[in-house]
Structure 1
Amino acid sequence: MIQSFFKRLKNVINPTPRLIVYGDIHGCLKELQALRKKIDPLKRDIEVSVGDFITKGEDSIGVIDYMIENNIYAVLGNHEEKLLRYLKHFRLDEKNMIKLNDDEKKILKQMRKKHLHYLEKLPVFLKFGDITIVHGGLENGMKLHKLSSKMIQKILRLRYVDENGHFITKIGKAKKRRFWADVYDGSEGFVIHGHRWSKTVHIHEHAIGIDTGCVYGHKLTALVLSSKYDYRIVQQESFKKKSDILEK
């Protein structure tokens, strides 16, 4: 399905460089390093994270350092956005209703200017021809060139839509709740996303989900696009013992 879609695209990317997109990393530095070793990126290749590369795992700061050192781009995930929003309230001396867990507090304590600068520069989406990379998902009718703050929050957190195709929360009640990619019409290109983790890669007509739960003891996934006719999925097993992991 995914290959047939790529063949229909008018403008993806040239055969070189490759576009390499990583699923949710969540502080799993060792797995990211091992996955990159399998892929063996060239300097001209473009590497992108779908966001949520921090929190939950063992070395979030190490992941940011590694991404900076290796020129890995990223889009904003809801976990990065949460920390940035917390810091914004703190700087403005506003009442801060955002509650941080111990891991998030540890990350903020370890964070230096270069880490914060990297996070603050993250875009909500990246486009490469007809390929669009976001963290969560898109509602039909969204226009990426004109996003309100409310739309941005939806893009970061979207999982399910109601019978009218509108965003609902994960625990929201709807008679006909659907995963957004099941009904997405492709109007903003073929979407590569993370956010909703699964043990397997989820391929839809106009989207692919590549968060395969590395931080929960499963796999870290990369989608490697060499051209619109050539792609492969590369994965790295988690080094964690599943018995030691509490899924959150």
Structure 2
Amino acid sequence: MQRTIAIGDVHGCADEFEELLEALELTPKDRVIQVGDLVNRGPDSRRVIELARQYNVEAIVGNHELRLLEAWRNNKPSLLKDYDRPTFEQLTEDDWLYLEEMPNVLYDAKIETVFVHGGFLPDIPWQKQALEIITTIQVIDKKGNAAKRSDAPDAPPWADTWRGSPFVVYGHTPRPNVLERPGSIGIDTGCVYGGHLTAYTIGDQTLTQVRARKAYAHSKRLPDPI
């Protein structure tokens, strides 16, 4: 029986990524989709990409990949943040090509599910939403615009207003626990912040998690560690 399994934000946490992939006991029939921010912040982004290749993981582009790619394509290291630089220096030509081939979203009509990094605005067809929106949205502000939690701390998560169809599986917004709503599930459980790396199996709606070995980064919004 084929399973479709989604994995949350890895952020360069190679040991945890490998542990989770092994715990899933994958078969050649399984499809594994990673919902973006495969790299950055954690200790070994290059090995994470190697593992993704080894296990045939289909990774979606996240905001971290986009910023790295923009700096690489345009030869503008000034676009990089401090935690981008170790990743930028680690990656090989093949790694950059892997990042370039990441799709913006993945949609599976058979299970009426779309996989995306950040999420969607509720009143625009998901297929027509800009890449910047779908990779960065966390909340919807008072004007109905996509926003980050830091810019609109009292605004509700976009998932609170999403009713589907399709069902949405996403990452990007780290939380101590998954966020389940009738039309979506958020599976970034803050591995890089000392939380968990989470996999969600679509059919039976089960979660598989591994605990972070340590907190590799720190967040102003979350317990330290999660």
Pair 17,161 (structure 1): closer, same or farther in 2 beyond 3 Å: same
1:109 alignment partner, one of 89, 99, 102: 89
Once the two structures are superposed, residues 154-210 of structure 1 have per-residue CA deviations (whole angstroms, 9 ceiling, x without a partner) of 100000102453212333348x721100011214x1000001111111101111000
2:211 alignment partner, one of 237, 241, 247: 237
Percent identity of the aligned residues? Answer: 31
Pair 61,178 (structure 1): closer, same or farther in 2 beyond 3 Å: same
Matched, 1:156 2:135: yes
Cα offset for 1:99? 3.3
Contact 2:198 2:208 in 1 (8 A): yes
Cα offset for 1:238? 0.9
2:113 alignment partner, one of 119, 131, 148: 131
Tell me the secondary structure at the aligned position of residue 132 of structure 1: strand
1 or 2 for the larger relative contact order (CA 8 Å, sep ≥6)?
Answer: 1
Find the counterpart in structure 2 of residue 8 from structure 1.
Answer: none
2:81 alignment partner, one of 89, 94, 100: 100
CA distance in 2: counterparts of 1:104 and 1:27, whole angstroms: 11
Q: Which amino acid aligns with 2:209?
A: Q
Cα offset for 1:231? 2.3
Uncovered stretches (5+) of structure 1, i.e. residues with no partner: 1-15
Find the counterpart in structure 1 of residue 168 from structure 2.
Answer: 191
Matched, 1:64 2:64: no
CA distance in 1: counterparts of 2:198 and 2:150, whole angstroms: 27
Q: Which amino acid aligns with 2:51?
A: Y
Matched, 1:19 2:16: no
Greater Rg over alpha carbons, structure? 1
Cα offset for 1:87? 1.4
Tell me the secondary structure at the aligned position of residue 178 of structure 1: coil
Q: Which amino acid aligns with 1:204?
A: R
Uncovered stretches (5+) of structure 2, i.e. residues with no partner: 221-226
Tell me the secondary structure at the aligned position of residue 205 of structure 2: strand
Cα offset for 1:152? 0.8
Contact 2:37 2:64 in 1 (8 A): yes
CA distance in 2: counterparts of 1:184 and 1:99, whole angstroms: 33
Contact 1:199 1:218 in 2 (8 A): yes
Cα offset for 1:246? 3.1
Find the counterpart in structure 1 of residue 122 from structure 2.
Answer: 140
CA distance in 1: counterparts of 2:119 and 2:26, whole angstroms: 27
CA distance in 2: counterparts of 1:194 and 1:169, whole angstroms: 13
Matched, 1:33 2:18: yes
Once the two structures are superposed, residues 18-76 of structure 1 have per-residue CA deviations (whole angstroms, 9 ceiling, x without a partner) of 00110111111111111122210101100010111111111111000110121100111
Cα offset for 1:113? 1.7
Contact 1:76 1:135 in 2 (8 A): yes
Question: CA RMSD for the aligned pairs?
Answer: 1.9
